[in-house]
């Protein structure tokens, strides 16, 4: 699969979720104190992202 979510522990001991395509970081979340919270962020993106509007500025 060319795209995936990856949860990594930061140097500060927190967790961040990355969305990668062909090993390149496309976007990432804020940091979270637990891995479960990072997973919740991914679940929210998967649930709410497909219907999100596109805005141009």
pLDDT tens-digit series, residues 6-48: 999 999 999 999 999 998 999 999 999 999 999 999 999 999 9
Enter the pTM of the model: 0.83
Q: What is the pLDDT of residue 23?
A: 86
Residue 1, pLDDT score: 65
Q: Where are the domains of the chain?
A: 3-48
φ/ψ of residue 52, rounded to 5: -70, 140
Count Cβ atoms below 10 Å from residue 20 Cβ, excluding itself: 15
Q: For the structural domain made of 3-48, what CATH number should be given?
A: 3.30.160.160
């Amino acid at each position: 699969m060319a795209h995936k979510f990856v949860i990594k522990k930061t140097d500060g001991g927190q967790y961040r979720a990355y969305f990668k395509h062909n090993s390149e970081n496309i976007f990432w979340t804020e940091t979270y104190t637990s891995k479960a919270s990072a997973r919740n962020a991914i679940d929210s993106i998967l649930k709410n992202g497909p219907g999100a509007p596109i805005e141009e500025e």
